[in-house]
Structure 1
């Protein structure tokens, strides 16, 4: 069954009911079947990204991979992106970067993260992804329920901003990921061994202590738990990209 835009209302509920207990590989294969065109995988090339990228490479190595290069990533993440792309044979990895005009207006000194992490994420992640997703009717994420917070109730298939979102790893926990990495001899992100179980931009990511939540090092000390790309947009929430209203 290929995707028909007229079927979007209710499509996510039907697919979620069908796939909610399916293996991640089966979910990916179904996503490619329903969306033979207009499907992308959004990856951070972070601590757990190798699992989903490896699965995608087995299903469709030319699947578009959208990578948000914010300009503030760890150098190790950029190195890992290049190495893993070559290792897995991914043929269509697209680097999404913030627009020069947006940076010139909102963050000319590259220090917006000090005063408004929400506005910084908006200009460096949310807006580039919006532009990068143009022309795609569906996308794949690497989110999992065990990460906690709003992700505890994460469905396998959902809709947002007029697109279908597939979350193939929603049901998996850390042991599933570790077992898959070992089974396929996948290289870990180089910062994992230094206490970074979840990785974002260097100003807003810290190592975590043993026993802490996986995402405890993201925006530590604040109430922020998501960068914004998985949060419903509220028009006017950020004023001219320069700060919270």
Structure 2
């Protein structure tokens, strides 16, 4: 059993690579999640440099931009990702035709939409994969909630949630992308967030 408080004290200020290495050594079934949004190639490159065959989970809502799908495919091929894609039980076409598409943020249907198109597929993925370590690319400067988080915490189903990039700034992310010549999406859209500084639910509701 990992002592989360001690892990944060001992490793919270280490480099992302050191944090990832420690977590991989202390896990038997790690995974990393991605949305192939801004700067996502950073976490994917870092973890696969240390564990090339790590399971990569993508919750694809079906509402991604064309550029996101193209960039995602390039990253998958370049990094030879061991990826599994989870999709909502409801198709985007059915949601658009029957329920009017993506609800506005102030629409009471938005919580249900978020559950159907983000949270349920994620919970399904985590149940099927049953990881003991979950790497996430969240960073403290992204939202108010994330600014209060620590590198190590407890996630869904008791998994050890690890945020190696928590203290990375945007300039750090851009520098890493440039150094390693990695792809980065410019036109990204998350239908469950709507706004860049809003939570999608993975880190606030689960």
Q: How much has 1:154 moved relative to structure 2? A: 1.7
Q: Please state if 1:24 is matched with 2:19.
A: no
Contact 1:144 1:167 in 2 (8 A): yes
Contact 1:70 1:97 in 2 (8 A): yes
- In structure 2, the residue corresponding to 1:120 is in which secondary structure? helix
Could you tell me which residue of structure 1 aligns to residue 67 of structure 2? 76
Could you tell me which residue of structure 2 aligns to residue 59 of structure 1? 50
Could you tell me which residue of structure 1 aligns to residue 164 of structure 2? 168
Q: How much has 1:155 moved relative to structure 2? A: 0.4
Could you tell me which residue of structure 2 aligns to residue 128 of structure 1? 121
- In structure 2, the residue corresponding to 1:230 is in which secondary structure? coil
d(CA) in 2 for partners of 1:113, 1:29: 41
Contact 2:103 2:110 in 1 (8 A): yes
Q: Please state if 1:50 is matched with 2:41.
A: yes
Q: How much has 1:113 moved relative to structure 2? A: 2.1
1:47-76 residue CA offsets vs partner (Å, 9 max, x unmatched): 110111111120112111110101111121
Q: Please state if 1:228 is matched with 2:206.
A: no
Find the partner of 1:200 among 190, 195, 204: 190
From the CA coordinates, give the structure whose radius of gyration is larger: 1
Greater relative contact order, per chain length (Cα 8 Å cut-off, separation 6+): 2
Find the partner of 1:149 among 144, 169, 193: 144
TM-score, normalising length: structure 2: 0.86
d(CA) in 1 for partners of 2:23, 2:132: 11
d(CA) in 1 for partners of 2:145, 2:193: 19
- C-alpha change, 1:108 and 1:136, in structure 2 (3 Å) is farther
Tell me how large the CA RMSD over aligned residues is: 2.4
Could you tell me which residue of structure 1 aligns to residue 103 of structure 2? 113
